Amino acid sequence: MTNLLTAALPATAIVAPTPDLDLLPAGLTDLDTARISSAIAAARTESTRRLYALVWAQWERWCAARGIGALPADPLALCAYLTERAEAGKATGTLDMACTVIRHVHRTCGITDPVDSEAVRQVRRGLRRTHGAAPRRLARPLSVQEIRQIVGCIDRSTPIGIRDAAIILLGFASAMRRAELVALHLADVEHKPAGLLLTIRQSKTDQEGHGQSVAVAHGQHALTDPVAALNAWRAVRGDAPGALFTRIWATKVSLEPLSGHVPARMLRARAVAAGLDGTRITAHSLRAGHATTAALAGVPLHRIAAQTRHKDLTVLVNRYIRPLEALAHTSSKHLGL
């Protein structure tokens, strides 16, 4: 492993390189090395790198407490780690993430991957059978009536009320992810006669940043018109370049971008203030609400997928379409209960 690959590893996972392997080909400069390291580091997002570092640190601490080497890892040690964490109630997804990170570090270092061993394969299979996969607590989709109820309770005479209403209505109308909403810049919004055209520079399904466009039409009601709500926020925010949605200190609007957690906390708080149950209301409730409402309205699957930019249509079918069909056609309605 050369020092170039350390950019892809959690900081504590770096092993001493073999002198012969650490030599660069003749003609490569320090600037070339810096560029390559930068590109390798960019292969994963900052949030992914932080998650990998956290998961790797958990594995290292467990190994240190047992007096076991974390890198390279013994397959049986990994088996013990997985079974212990499963016994402690960790979800299958958590165990899978541990395996993903441990595999990544070993392969990047050019070391035999313990996750590929037959013992680890059998243990993982057995844990799935005995412990199962805990059902995901999906975000509750918000309906148009609930959106109307939420924004109707917001004081839109204040900067923060104007901003929050714009985030909620634009998030619902666009079906964008929360990370995409907070990553929008003023320059990413283009006004058209029919509404708005939003440019998403990078997203979960576009890691390489080719860019995607999302359209938002004018609303039919003044209270819930996403275009009017965004225009009202832009008038408060001003025309300075930078993030579209920014932080507000007291009543002073800054140019500091929002973190990805703000829309979720804000939406839940606004929903509770409007008299709704905040259980399972997250930022994803806007995106899920768009898909569910569109499906109820009879919008074809391909049009919903084009708006939400789902590459895997089974997600739309299994999470939004089939539950609606099940409720519409269930025989339990005819039992006379």
pLDDT in tens, 200-211: 886 555 555 566
In Å, the largest CA–CA distance within the chain is 83
Higher pLDDT, 68 or 9: 68
CA 87 to chain CA centroid, nearest Å: 28
Residue 181 burial (10 A CB sphere; 0-12, 13-18, 19+):
buried
Tens digit of pLDDT for each residue in 54-77?
999 999 999 999 999 998 999 999
- Decide if 306 is inside a domain: no
As a whole number of angstroms, the distance between CA 50 and CA 259 comes to 15
Mean pLDDT of 1-23: 57
Mean pLDDT of 40-49: 74
Number of domains making up the chain? 2
Are 224 and 151 contacting, i.e. CB atoms less than 8 angstroms apart?
A: yes
- Are residues 35 and 151 both part of a single domain? no
Tell whether the model's pLDDT for residue 20 goes beyond 80.
Answer: no
Indicate the residue among 265, 283, 301 that finishes a domain.
Answer: 283
pLDDT band at 324 (very low <50, low <70, confident <90, very high): low
Tens digit of pLDDT for each residue in 102-159?
999 898 888 899 999 999 999 999 998 887 655 556 788 899 999 999 999 999 999 9
Per-residue model confidence (pLDDT) at position 170: 96
- Decide if 136 is inside a domain: no
Per-residue model confidence (pLDDT) at position 247: 94
Strands (E), the chain: 189-192, 195-200, 212-217, 246-249, 252-257
Residue indicated by tokens 């320090």: 30
Per-residue model confidence (pLDDT) at position 19: 44
Question: Which CATH number does the domain housing residue 66 bear?
Answer: 1.10.150.130
- Decide if 184 is inside a domain: yes
Indicate the residue among 69, 102, 131 that finishes a domain.
Answer: 131
pTM above 0.85, yes or no: no
The boundaries of the domain holding residue 214 are 144-283
User: Would you tell me how many other CB atoms lie within 10 Å of the CB of residue 216?
Assistant: 23
User: Would you tell me how many other CB atoms lie within 10 Å of the CB of residue 126?
Assistant: 14
Per-residue model confidence (pLDDT) at position 123: 93
Buried b (16+ CB within 10 A) or exposed e, 112-121: ebbbebeebe
Tell whether the model's pLDDT for residue 263 goes beyond 70.
Answer: yes
As a whole number of angstroms, the distance between CA 227 and CA 173 comes to 9
- Are residues 122 and 175 both part of a single domain? no
- Are residues 24 and 108 both part of a single domain? yes
Write out the two tokens for 180. Answer: 């995409």
Mean pLDDT across the chain, nearest whole number?
A: 85
Report CA-CA distances (Å) from 80 to 54, 76, 77, 159: 19, 6, 5, 54
- Decide if 336 is inside a domain: no
As a whole number of angstroms, the distance between CA 9 and CA 14 comes to 7
Per-residue model confidence (pLDDT) at position 137: 65
